[in-house]
Chains A and B, each alone.
Chain A
Amino acid sequence: MAKGDRGARLRDRRTAGPPPAEPGAPLGDDLVQLLTPEGERIDRVTGPDGVEYSVDFSDSEYRGLYRDLVVVRRLDAESTALQRQGELGIWASLLGQEAAQVGSGRALRPQDMAFPTYREHGVLYCRGIDPIMPLGLFRGVDQGAWDPVEHKFNMYTIVIGAQTLHATGYAMGIAMDGKVGNSDDPADGEAVIAYFGDGATSQGDVNEAFIWSSVYHAPIVFFCQNNQYAISEPIERQTRIPLYRRAAGFGFPGVRVDGNDVLATYAVTRHALDNARHGQGPTMIEAHTYRMGAHTTTDDPTRYRGISEVEAWQAKDPIARVRAFLAKQQIADAGFFTEVDEQATAEAMSLRERVLAMPDPEPVTLFDHVFVDETPQIRQQRARFVEYQASFEGSGH
C-alpha cells in the first residue's frame, strides 16, 4: 500500500466501533450510590453484580466519616502547600478522591493488608497511621522507610500498577497460610486490597494480576479509583467500556460505585473484602471519581482539560454531600462542623511543624541497606566517601 494511504488507514482503525464515552458523562443505572450529591440518602441499591448494598451507621459513625473526610482533605492541602513552599520535593494530591479513600479505608478490617499507589494518603490515615509517615519520602530524608507488615500498609508504589502483582502474591501467600475461608467470623479471615488508577488498567502487569488472582482464587479486592485521568490521558484513551466490566472477562465480579459517595464506597468495599476473606475470591471495584487537582505538583492540568469539566465535578463534591446530609438529618450542628474544622487545622499545623523538624540523615548512610551482606565494593566506596568528605573539613565547603 502506498505511504499516502497510511494516514487514512490509521484514521479508520481509530474510529472503528462505538464512540468512547466522554469523561463525566451521565452514568447508567449500574452505579452504586447511597448518598446523592445533594445529600439525599438512598436506603438500598442493587449493584451490577446483583448484590443489594446498604449501610447501617449510627449517628456517631456518620459524624466520624465526615471528620475523616475533612481532616484528610486538610492534611492533603497542607502537604501541597509544603511542596509549594519548597519543603517537600513533590506531592500527589488526593483532592476529590477523599470519599473513595475514606470509604474503602474504613471498610478494611484491622487484619487486612493494603497495597497503595502514591496517592492513598486517605487510606493511610484511616488505617490509624500517623500522616507524617510518608512525608519523609517526599521530603527526601528517607526512601519511605516504614514497615509494611507492622502497619498492614505497603510502601507507596511509584511505578504504575506494579503493586497489583505484589498484592496478588501476598493474597496467594495468606491463602496458603490458611488465613482465608475458615469461618464466617469477620475477625477471622484476612483479605488484601490493591489500589490503582484508571491508567494502570492499561498496564500488562495489572492484567496479569487479574488473571493470577482469578485462577488462584486469591483473597483480593482490586480497588480502581477511576479519577478520569492518567496525567493528561483521559479515560477514553484507556478503555471503551466501563472498567468494572473488564472483571467479567477475567472471571470475577466487578462493581461500579460512586467514588464520591463515602457510604456506597464503604458498603461495596466491605462486602468485597468479606467475600475475599471467606474464600469467595477476587472482586474489582471501580470507584468513579475525579482528580480535582493536578496529577502531582509538577503537572498543570489546564493544558489538557477544560474548566467546565472541573466545575461539573465540583458539584459532586464528596464532602459537601455528607455535610448536607448530616445537617438535614440533624445528625450534626454548626458547633460540630466548626469543631471538625478546628481539629483538621490543628492536625495540619502539627504535621507542618513535624515535617519542618525532620532531621537530615547523615550523608554516609547513603551506603546503608544496599545489601544484607555488603559487598567489598560498597565497603570500599563508603570508606572513600568518608575520606573524601573529611578532606573538606575546615575548608568551608
Chain B
Amino acid sequence: MADVITYREAVAEGLAREMRRDPSVVCLGEDIGAAEGVFKTTVGLFKEFGPERVWDTPISEQAIVGAAMGAAMTGLRPVAEIMFSDFLACCWDYLANEIPKVRYMTGGQVTVPLVVRTANGGGLGFGAQHSQAVENWALAVPGLKIAAPSTPADVVGLLAAAVRSDDPVLFFEHKGLFASRGPAAPPDHLVPLGEATVARPGTDLTVVALASTVPVALAAAEALARDGIFAEVVDLRCLIPLDIRTVLESVGRTSRLLIVEENPYQGGWGGTVASLVADEGFELLDAPIRRVAAACVPLPFADPLEQRVMPTVDKVTAAVRGLAAY
C-alpha cells in the first residue's frame, strides 16, 4: 500500500478493511457499486465483495436509511451512503425520529449498529442544495454519534470505530477534502470516537476545527507563525462524543479560543463548544471566545462567492490576529 493516499481512497480503504474483518458489514447506496461512487469513494468494493455485500439501490434516500435500520436490527452492520449530506433532509424522519430512538424506546433491547456516510460541505461550487455543511443538524438529535475526519488516516481510523460502534454513527466525509493527501493508515488503525487531537501545538491561542476547517486553521497557523503568533490547532474529529477536555487543556495553555466551523454561525456546533468552555473554563480565558463560521445564507454556486460565505485562511488569520491582540 502506498505511503501517501488521498482522502477519497481512504474511504474505500476503510470500508474494505471493515468488510474483510467482519462479514456482517454491508454497504448500500446509490451508484456505489458498478459506478464505484459518484465521488469515487467506493472504488474496488463491488469487485471485491460483490452484489451480496455492496447493494446498488434505487434512488430513495428514505428507503436507504430506513432499510439500513431494518438490516441493522437483523444483526447486519450496514453502512449506508447518502450521496450529498444535503439529502439527509430527504430521510430526516429516519435519522431524527427512528434510528436514534430505537435503543431508548425499546429499553435497550434493540440496537441499530449502522453508519450513514455522506459527502458534506462546500468549497466545490455545488450550489445551495449540494454544498451545505450540515453536521450541526445532527448535533440537535440525541442518540446519534457524529464523526467528521480531516485526514486520510483519520478517515480509516474513525470509520473502523464507527462501523464497530453499536450506536448509530453519522459519518461526514468532506467533499472539499476528497482530493487531499496524507499518510496512509497503519494496519488495524482505529481512532476511538470522541478523542480530539492536537494537530499543531502552539502557545498563543487555541483554534478548534473540524474536518475541512482543520487544514484551513493549519494554513493560517503556519502563516501566523512567521509573524511570531503561535496558534495551537485542535482537530475535534467528532462532535458526539465531544472531547471538550482536550479543548479545555489547550485553552489552559493558551488562554484564548477561536472556533472555526463550516456550518452557518446560527446553530453551529461552535456555539456548543463556546458554551461548554464558558461554563467549565471561564477562568482560563483572557479574551472573549470568537467564532469563524459560514454566513447565515444559502451557499452561492459561484466559487468566488462561495468563498465569501465559507471560512477561509484569510478570515481565520484575521480573526486570530484580532484575538491575539486582545
Identify the A interface with B (CB < 8 A): 3-4, 6-7, 10-11, 14, 89, 137-141, 143, 158-160, 199-200, 202-204, 230-233, 237-238, 298-299, 303-304, 360-361, 363, 366-367, 370, 375, 377-378, 381, 385, 388, 391, 397
What are the residues of chain A within 8 A of B51 when measuring CB–CB? 14
What are the residues of chain B within 8 A of A397 when measuring CB–CB? 314
Is B272 at the interface (CB under 8 A from chain A)?
no
**Known contacts being A381-B296, A385-B308, is A233 close to B125, with CB within 8 Å?**
no
Residue of A143, A199, A391 with most chain B CB atoms under a 10 A cut-off: A143
In the A-B complex, list the 3 residue pairs whose CB atoms are closest, starting with the nearest: A140-B302, A202-B58, A232-B35
Is B127 at the interface (CB under 8 A from chain A)?
yes
Q: Report whether B301 and A137 are in contact in the complex, using a CB–CB cutoff of 8 Å.
A: yes
**Known contacts being A143-B128, A199-B59, A233-B58, is A363 close to B266, with CB within 8 Å?**
no
Docked Cα-Cα span, A14 to B52, in Å, equals 9
What are the residues of chain B within 8 A of A238 when measuring CB–CB? 58-59
Find residues 3-39 in chain B having any chain A CB closer than 8 Å to their own CB.
Answer: 23-24, 30-31, 34-36, 38
Q: Pull 9 A–B residue pairs with CB atoms less than 8 Å apart, ordered by A.
A: A6-B76, A11-B52, A158-B130, A238-B58, A304-B35, A361-B305, A366-B297, A377-B266, A381-B295
What are the residues of chain B within 8 A of A388 when measuring CB–CB? 315, 318
What are the residues of chain B within 8 A of A7 when measuring CB–CB? 52-53
Q: Report whether A367 and B59 are in contact in the complex, using a CB–CB cutoff of 8 Å.
A: no
Measured CB to CB, the nearest residue on chain B to A366 is B297
What are the residues of chain A within 8 A of B57 when measuring CB–CB? 233, 237
Measured CB to CB, the nearest residue on chain A to B23 is A3
Least CB distance, A108 to chain B, in whole angstroms: 26
What are the residues of chain A within 8 A of B61 when measuring CB–CB? 203
Measured CB to CB, the nearest residue on chain B to A162 is B90
Which range contains the number of B residues in contact with the other chain?
35 or more
- Option from A303, A366, A378 in Cβ contact (under 8 Å) with B35: A303
Is B282 at the interface (CB under 8 A from chain A)?
no
Q: Report whether B60 and A202 are in contact in the complex, using a CB–CB cutoff of 8 Å.
A: yes
Q: Report whether A140 and B303 are in contact in the complex, using a CB–CB cutoff of 8 Å.
A: yes
Q: Report whether B59 and A203 are in contact in the complex, using a CB–CB cutoff of 8 Å.
A: yes
**Known contacts being A204-B63, A366-B308, is A139 close to B302, with CB within 8 Å?**
yes
Q: Report whether B34 and A304 are in contact in the complex, using a CB–CB cutoff of 8 Å.
A: yes
Is B137 at the interface (CB under 8 A from chain A)?
no
Docked Cα-Cα span, A141 to B304, in Å, equals 10
Measured CB to CB, the nearest residue on chain B to A200 is B59
Least CB distance, B296 to chain A, in whole angstroms: 6
Measured CB to CB, the nearest residue on chain A to B22 is A3
What are the residues of chain B within 8 A of A304 when measuring CB–CB? 34-35
Q: Other than the known A140-B303, A204-B63, A238-B59, what 4 A-B pairs have Cβ atoms closer than 8 Å?
A: A7-B52, A230-B58, A233-B58, A375-B296
Docked Cα-Cα span, A119 to B159, in Å, equals 36
Q: Report whether B308 and A363 are in contact in the complex, using a CB–CB cutoff of 8 Å.
A: yes
Measured CB to CB, the nearest residue on chain B to A160 is B59
Is B246 at the interface (CB under 8 A from chain A)?
no
Residue of A199, A230, A381, A388 with most chain B CB atoms under a 10 A cut-off: A381
Q: Report whether A237 and B52 are in contact in the complex, using a CB–CB cutoff of 8 Å.
A: no
Docked Cα-Cα span, A360 to B302, in Å, equals 10
Docked Cα-Cα span, A51 to B314, in Å, equals 66
Q: Report whether B87 and A159 are in contact in the complex, using a CB–CB cutoff of 8 Å.
A: yes
**Known contacts being A200-B59, A231-B35, is A366 close to B305, with CB within 8 Å?**
yes
Q: Report whether B34 and A232 are in contact in the complex, using a CB–CB cutoff of 8 Å.
A: yes
Q: Report whether B35 and A140 are in contact in the complex, using a CB–CB cutoff of 8 Å.
A: no
**Known contacts being A202-B60, A366-B308, is A143 close to B298, with CB within 8 Å?**
yes
Q: Report whether B129 and A366 are in contact in the complex, using a CB–CB cutoff of 8 Å.
A: no
Least CB distance, B8 to chain A, in whole angstroms: 14
Docked Cα-Cα span, A137 to B126, in Å, equals 11
Q: Report whether A140 and B125 are in contact in the complex, using a CB–CB cutoff of 8 Å.
A: yes
What are the residues of chain B within 8 A of A3 when measuring CB–CB? 23-24, 75
Per-residue CB contact flags for chain B residues 115-143 toward chain A (1 = under 8 Å, else 0) read: 00000000001011110000000000000
Q: Report whether B58 and A363 are in contact in the complex, using a CB–CB cutoff of 8 Å.
A: no
Docked Cα-Cα span, A89 to B59, in Å, equals 24
Is B98 at the interface (CB under 8 A from chain A)?
no
Is B241 at the interface (CB under 8 A from chain A)?
no
Q: Report whether A385 and B295 are in contact in the complex, using a CB–CB cutoff of 8 Å.
A: yes
Docked Cα-Cα span, A366 to B294, in Å, equals 12
Docked Cα-Cα span, A378 to B59, in Å, equals 36
Docked Cα-Cα span, A199 to B60, in Å, equals 9
Q: Report whether A232 and B266 are in contact in the complex, using a CB–CB cutoff of 8 Å.
A: no
Find residues 39-74 in chain B having any chain A CB closer than 8 Å to their own CB.
Answer: 51-53, 56-63
What are the residues of chain A within 8 A of B75 when measuring CB–CB? 3
Q: Report whether B56 and A143 are in contact in the complex, using a CB–CB cutoff of 8 Å.
A: no
- Option from B34, B127, B297 in Cβ contact (under 8 Å) with A370: B297
What are the residues of chain B within 8 A of A378 when measuring CB–CB? 296-297
Is B309 at the interface (CB under 8 A from chain A)?
yes
Is B300 at the interface (CB under 8 A from chain A)?
yes
What are the residues of chain A within 8 A of B52 when measuring CB–CB? 7, 10-11
Measured CB to CB, the nearest residue on chain A to B128 is A143
- Option from B31, B53, B125, B295 in Cβ contact (under 8 Å) with A89: B125
Docked Cα-Cα span, A17 to B156, in Å, equals 39
Measured CB to CB, the nearest residue on chain B to A384 is B295
What are the residues of chain A within 8 A of B86 when measuring CB–CB? 159
- Option from B63, B309, B315 in Cβ contact (under 8 Å) with A366: B309
Q: Report whether A366 and B295 are in contact in the complex, using a CB–CB cutoff of 8 Å.
A: yes
Measured CB to CB, the nearest residue on chain A to B89 is A159
What are the residues of chain A within 8 A of B76 when measuring CB–CB? 6
Per-residue CB contact flags for chain B residues 294-326 toward chain A (1 = under 8 Å, else 0) read: 011110111111001100001100100000000
**Known contacts being A7-B52, A232-B31, A367-B297, is A303 close to B59, with CB within 8 Å?**
no
Least CB distance, A392 to chain B, in whole angstroms: 9
Q: Report whether B305 and A140 are in contact in the complex, using a CB–CB cutoff of 8 Å.
A: yes
Find residues 141-175 in chain B having any chain A CB closer than 8 Å to their own CB.
Answer: none
Q: Report whether B301 and A140 are in contact in the complex, using a CB–CB cutoff of 8 Å.
A: yes
- Option from B30, B60, B304, B305 in Cβ contact (under 8 Å) with A204: B60
Measured CB to CB, the nearest residue on chain A to B309 is A366
- Option from B56, B303, B304 in Cβ contact (under 8 Å) with A233: B56
What are the residues of chain B within 8 A of A141 when measuring CB–CB? 302
What are the residues of chain A within 8 A of B58 when measuring CB–CB? 199, 202, 230, 233, 237-238
Docked Cα-Cα span, A230 to B58, in Å, equals 8
What are the residues of chain B within 8 A of A391 when measuring CB–CB? 318
Docked Cα-Cα span, A14 to B129, in Å, equals 34
Q: Report whether A204 and B62 are in contact in the complex, using a CB–CB cutoff of 8 Å.
A: yes
Least CB distance, A231 to chain B, in whole angstroms: 5
What are the residues of chain A within 8 A of B265 when measuring CB–CB? 377, 381
